[in-house]
Structure 1
Amino acid sequence: MKTCLVVDDSKVIRKVARHILEGLKFAVEEAGDGREALDRCNAGTPPDVILLDWNMPVMSGMEFLRALGQSAIRQRPKVVFCTTENGVAHIRAAIDAGADEYVMKPFDRETLESKLQIVGVA
């Protein structure tokens, strides 16, 4: 079973994402900010994919991406940025920082499933 770490400071978004991902047969874990997510990735087996929010307290999505890129994690998870930021500059910055794909909030099952297929985990 594929694993997904949903990283978002919104409990509602995490719940919605969990519901969709479990319907797609993913084992789902949650983190409320980038620091918590980084700690989880470094603590054990990293997830297959990370659904990552942009704007969070403690450590933002961009800060998390940079830290993940500098970490010693052997098998880097695919990262799908999930955010309300839709400007071309934001999308380019996310991809340049190491994101594999990008999905806009709010998202539905079909949209998320297609993004997961694009990164090769669905």
Structure 2
Amino acid sequence: MQSCLIVDPAPVIRKVASRILFQMGLSVEGVANSDEALRWIESNGMPEIAIVAASTEDSMSVDLVRQIREQANGRPIVILGAIVEANLGLMTRLRRAGATAYIYKPFDRQALEGWLTPFMQPAGATVSASAA
């Protein structure tokens, strides 16, 4: 089962996303901020998917994306920046920091499934040693 870490200060976003992603077959954990995310990764290991809330007012999300990508040490991880609007400056900073793609908030089940499905492994699939 793939693991997913959701980093978002809004408890309702974490709760709704966790339910949807769990129903999609992911093991999901939600944390409120960068410090909690880094502690979770230290305790539990690198997730296969990380969803990081990002806004133009908060540069910590860009730093978190960079730190996650660095800690992954080349291992495959999907990092999705969760943004409210298409802001080219923020999107560029996230991409340069190592974000794989973006999702938009607020979201519904259909949108979240559409964004995540391309990054999910089929049930029972494992990452080969050559891909890791």
TM-score over 0.5 for the alignment? yes
Deviations 1:48-103 (A, max 9, x none): 10111114xx9821110122233365635211111214212221221111000101
Equivalent in the alignment of 1:81: 81
State how many pairs are aligned: 121
CA distance in 2, matches of 1:64, 1:102: 15
Map 1:38-77; keep pairs closer than 5 Å.
38-55=38-55, 60-71=60-71, 73=73, 75-77=75-77
Asked if the contact 2:6/2:28 (under 8 Å) is kept, the reply is yes
1: CA distance, partners of 2:121 / 2:107: 18
Q: Distance in 2 between matches of 1:72 and 1:47?
A: 9
Match of 1:34? 34
2:5 is matched with 5
The answer to whether the aligner puts 1:98 opposite 2:113 as a matched pair is: no
RMSD value, Cα: 2.4
Residue 42 of structure 1 aligns with an amino acid whose one-letter code is E
Q: Matched residue of 2:36: which SS?
A: helix
Contact 1:46–1:76 (8 Å) recurs in 2: no
1:15 corresponds to 2:15 = yes
The structure that has the greater radius of gyration is: 2
Larger mean Cα displacement after TM superposition, 7-16 or 58-67: 58-67
SS class of match (1:114): helix
Distance across 1 between alignment mates of 2:68 and 2:89: 21
Cα distance in 1 for residues equivalent to 2:81 and 2:99: 6
Deviation at 1:116, TM superposition (A): 1.6
Unaligned runs of 5+ in 2: 123-132
- Matched residues, percent identical? 28
Structure 2: which amino acid aligns with 1:68? I
